Structure 1
Amino acid sequence: MGPLLGSGRTADVFALDGRRVLRRYRDGSDTGGELAVMTHLAEHGYPVPAAWTGAAPGELVLERLAGPTLRDALVAGDITPEAAGELLAGLLHRLHAVPAAVGADPAHRILHLDLHPENVLLTPRGPVVIDWATADEGPPGLDAGMSVLILAEAVFSLPEGLAEAARAVLASLVRHLGGPGDLAAARARRAANPTLGAAEVRRLDAAVALGSRSSSG
């Protein structure tokens, strides 16, 4: 196993070689569901990394992708907030066009539930969505609401310049989605997330209000 490439709230990513990385969950969480979702999406042409079973519990081997995150491209000025919001909305629309893998409700789709600029890589083959640990099946409005809520939260937590960019991405996202999604359901789900700190939970109501205002410009 090679060097540590990055760490999130629940997992660390290590280099394996020039073509693969290892995602390791610190609590040893089962990765079978995540692998199954990514395999299903790849079969339907959705842009996800290639993925394989890891050697130990809590491990997932993933294709190593080249390119900046959408967030880094925004900070560098390589993409405008308007284009970034449109890109995120397009990825959500494409995702929700893929049929559910296991659910019986015809209105349900696969949901990412954490699709924001840090989870989109801009690769030579186009944008690729990463980090499917929170994926589930359900109503698409919940997924849209989660992306809107997460971006709205960022407006309150980032430094001023980045916060204004996040606000502009948010406005573009809501416009291209055709609305903010189900913010009430998204707020309930976010509030129940054990990895959120107390300050983050306290910001949720303000984030919901901002997301709602963004729908009217």
Structure 2
Amino acid sequence: MKIGELVGAGRTADVFALDDGRVLRRYRDGDDATDEVAVMAYLAEHDYPVPAVWPGPAAGDLVMQRLSGPTMVEALAGGAITAERAGEMLAELLRRLHAVPPRLSADPDRRVLHLDLHPENVVLTPQGPVVIDWATAGEGPPGLDSAMSALILAQAALTMPDVAAAARAVLASLLLHLDTIESDHLAEARSRRAANPTLSRAEIDSLAEAVTLINRTTAP
């Protein structure tokens, strides 16, 4: 396996081109990607739109299909998709995910959760949207996943001036197309975001206002 150029970088991992139409995603701290591979393979079996995936040469590696197309963020910036359609699409992707039976839990009310589903983690391929970055995936109540997506968008609206207007518009559309977000799920999402070591101090400090923004947006 010949590792090529760096083609992407996130908060915790780098993505390198391979010479066979695939990419290698490597955690900088060597975190184990075994569970992530298993979740993505399971979702693919249930026709959920994820990249094809293979175990990498090391525990912290993940080899996956190289996708063609912009991220939802790039499409929004370039005017290829409206904020209203982006929010609707995120809601559709959440609903489709939560229709998949749990992989591990015996409780039928639990579902596979992404817990980081936002516009940077959706690639708009010619075949349709594909969800990437399953590092935070788990199982639990679907409402928690929806709350996390809303909270991430609300934080972007408050802490990222370059995309603030778009984030607010996507958030409003997402909330319009979702079931009501329960207060306990929003509280749990806030707690999880506060404990996320990759967030900046400004992002953590924005959480209370982000919750207020969500509640204000959903108010009749």
TM-score, reference length from structure 2: 0.95
The residue aligned with 1:95 is 97
- Deviation of the 1:4 alpha carbon: 0.5
- Deviation of the 1:158 alpha carbon: 1.9
The 5-angstrom pairing of residues 8-19 of structure 1 reads: 8-19=10-21
Whether 1:212 and 2:208 are equivalent positions in the alignment is: no
Q: Is the 8 A contact 2:49 2:131 kept in 1?
A: yes
- Deviation of the 1:18 alpha carbon: 4.9
Whether 1:123 and 2:125 are equivalent positions in the alignment is: yes
The 5-angstrom pairing of residues 1-217 of structure 1 reads: 1-159=3-161, 162-181=163-182, 182-216=185-219
Letter in 2 for 1:210: L
The 3 A distance-change label for structure 1 pair 18 and 74 is: farther
Count matched residues.
216
Equivalent position SS for 1:165: helix
Q: Is the 8 A contact 1:13 1:22 kept in 2?
A: yes
Letter in 1 for 2:35: G
Runs of 5+ in structure 1 lacking a partner? Answer: none
Distance 1:188 1:157 in 2: 18
Letter in 2 for 1:118: E
Runs of 5+ in structure 2 lacking a partner? Answer: none
- Deviation of the 1:197 alpha carbon: 2.0
Equivalent position SS for 1:113: coil
Distance 2:19 2:64 in 1: 11
- Deviation of the 1:216 alpha carbon: 2.2
TM-score, reference length from structure 1: 0.97
Equivalent position SS for 1:196: coil
Q: Is the 8 A contact 1:18 1:64 kept in 2?
A: no
Equivalent position SS for 2:4: coil
Percent identity of paired positions between Structure 1 and Structure 2: 64
Distance 2:120 2:181 in 1: 20
